[in-house]
A and B are shown apart, each in its own frame.
Chain A
Amino acid sequence: GNSVTQMEGPVTLSEEAFLTINCTYTATGYPSLFWYVQYPGEGLQLLLKATKADDKGSNKGFEATYRKETTSFHLEKGSVQVSDSAVYFCALSDPNFNKFYFGSGTKLNVKP
């Protein structure tokens, strides 16, 4: 079946540090992959997505590359800011079975 596995948090970094949040997936077909973010007190919102292998999604300085060979979609940012503190969710959509799966979320705390 389909599933998404994220690294457990919380992840605590100092401002301007490099960020990686790992995400791996299991899928029966050719899924699309997403990162959603939930800032404190706000609803979930799409951060970036990739719909086929080797695609790179990017937004607000964040990047993730769809790696079919390693079934991964790791989120990276070169220099985090305090305002990036949030919960990040990796997600997968399976078009064959019309299913959508979220990972369990990784909380990021960025200290000044």
Chain B
Amino acid sequence: EAGVAQSPRYKIIEKRQSVAFWCNPISGHATLYWYQQILGQGPKLLIQFQNNGVVDDSQLPKDRFSAERLKGVDSTLKIQPAKLEDSAVYLCASSLDPLAGLTDTQYFGPGTRLTVL
């Protein structure tokens, strides 16, 4: 079974530029999560989708971050414009059973390491 795929793996941009990250969850997984992991910290949940609907985006800085999950499969996270403090690893995860909610096992992708100069 293929795991969660993310691209690109690394991205370097200058502040005020835009960037987009892509995630393909495990086939059949209803729930998709985006996390931000700043160096030395644990991951912070930014947004949770169930199928193509948003369950929670309370921690997403909506003035610059946006995310979508078209057709309930792939997802894209965008930052526009980027700030220095956005330098982090962006993790995508998926889980199978929407009825299990956040007690279900999350399967993580390898992450995208973003550096903002």
Separation of A51 and B101 alpha carbons in the complex (Å):
12
B81 CB, min distance to chain A CBs, angstroms: 27
**Residue among B33, B43, B55, B107 with most chain A CB within 10 A:** B43
* Chain B interface mostly: mixed
Q: Which residue of A lies closest to B41 (CB)?
A: A104
Q: Taking the complex as formed, is B24 at the interface, i.e. its CB lies under 8 A from any CB of chain A? A: no
- How extensive is the interface on chain B, given as a class? 20 to 34
Report which of B44, B103, B111 forms a contact with A43, defined as CB distance below 8 A: B111
Please, what's the 1-or-0 string for B75-117, where 1 marks a CB less than 8 Å from any CB in chain A?
0000000000000000101000000011101111111000000
Q: Is the CB of B102 within 8 A of A98?
A: yes
Report Cα–Cα, A91/B108, bound state, in Å: 14
Shortest Cβ gap from A2 to chain B (Å): 11
- Does A32 sit at the interface, judged by CB under 8 A? yes
Q: Does A93 contact B (CB under 8 A)?
A: yes
Q: Is B19 an interface residue (CB 8 A)?
A: no
- Where the two chains meet, the residues of B that have a C-beta atom closer than 8 Å to any C-beta of A are 3-4, 33, 40-45, 48, 55-56, 91, 93, 101-103, 105-111
